[in-house]
Amino acid sequence: MFVQSVALSPVPEFARVPPAVLTHVLSRMLGEPDALVHMLDDGFRRMERSQPSLAEFVSNELSQVDGPRISAVAYFLAVLVHQAFEEAFGQRLGRVQLSDLTQAVDRLVTDGQLRTQGGDTITYSEDAIAIGQPALVALLRSEIDRALDEAPEEARTLSVDALYEMLLVQLLALTSAVAP
């Protein structure tokens, strides 16, 4: 039996965002196409109030994304992920601190390094996260694939990789902030 060293902990059942919650949040956000920008801005302001460190992290990461299409997708997905966690867990969702985000980045980087040194079989950190948050990661993959298809060639690799890493860090930090 092959056992691979990893740095990511399994997502506890009590911290998984149910697919129904994600569907509800998506329906609410996309229900009125003309109101989407307003809903996103309201959602980001809520993130700034309830999760100021997370909002600052997202804002800093978004400022480094090249291209309006990729930036818009990143903004939408960051707000969506936050709203899904808020709706799914309410008062059980603790406040993410800067140290939580730093730890999430460190765990993601370390996990990636361990997985690439794993011998014949290489697995990916995003797959481990997908086991614990399947609905969210499936949606993120789908939207990022669509953004890749529509992005100019020069913006594809670096901006999309940075976007995906930001979203995975957000997922890890929010998942860790859920109390039983």
**pLDDT tens-place string over residues 59-114:** 999 998 777 777 888 899 999 999 999 999 999 999 999 999 999 998 888 877 77
Structure tokens given for 114: 């361990």
- Domain locations in the chain? 13-176
Give the residue ranges of DSSP H helices in the chain: 19-30, 36-50, 52-62, 68-89, 98-116, 125-132, 134-150, 153-176
Q: What was the pLDDT predicted at 123?
A: 61
CA atoms of 157 and 67, how far apart (whole Å)? 12
Residues 101-137 as b or e (16 or more Cβ within 10 Å = b): beebbebbeebbebbeeeeeeeeebbebbbebbebbb
Is pLDDT at 150 greater than 80 in this prediction? no
Is pLDDT at 153 greater than 70 in this prediction? no
Among 18-27, 145-154, 160-169, the least confident range: 145-154
Q: What was the pLDDT predicted at 99?
A: 97
